[in-house]
Amino acid sequence: MSAYTTRFGSLRNFQKGEIEIISDNPKNFAFSNVFDVASKSAPYEKVVVARNLQYVIEAIRAEGTSAWYAADHDEFVIVMDGAVEVELVKLDNPAEVALPGTNGAVMVRGEPAGKRMGRILLGRGHQALLPKGAAYRFRAEQPGCMIQQGIFGALSVEKWADICYR
């Protein structure tokens, strides 16, 4: 039986992954490393690292304070490295911010109108729900890495040629 070693990466210390040899057509598979992707991304750029139909997982470099975002569907975020604060506002009129049926997150212009819901402090491995009808923004004092699950939208960036092996 083979022995496996689990190695936890970070934005500053990761080993770029590789594809394991398989008995199938390699065109059916892609691999990317969220730390590698985030290390080369602009702060809060939503780089798609996995896609299944309209659903995506995006690697995000957390650094400084993001713009405000909202979506017409629930999303969630997991902090992979570092510490991130999520601030939430229950929108007075969500349909004015993220039009019903809009796919993916959208940027909120200015300060969101609504009641402050509070903040969530996330560390490595912590997850938060980003609910439909709420605006959210991220804040990180030091660079970190997150993955966010949602629906592919206008802010989703695809860089497959840069992040995948062929």
Is residue 146 within 8 Å of residue 79, measured between CB atoms?
yes
DSSP code at position 43? B
Residue of 71, 147, 69 lying closest to 103 (CA atoms): 71
> May I ask the CATH architecture of the domain 31-159?
Sandwich (2.60)
Residue, of 43 and 2, whose pLDDT is higher? 43
pLDDT digit string, tens, across residues 25-75: 544 444 458 888 999 999 999 999 988 889 999 999 999 999 999 999 999
Beta bridge partners of 119: 87
Is residue 51 within 8 Å of residue 73, measured between CB atoms?
no
Looking at 26-155, list the stretches that DSSP marks H as alpha helix, in order from N- to C-terminal side: 34-39, 94-97
pLDDT digit string, tens, across residues 102-123: 999 999 999 999 999 999 999 9
The span from the CA of 30 to the CA of 75, in Å, is 23
Residue extents of the structural domains in the chain? 31-159
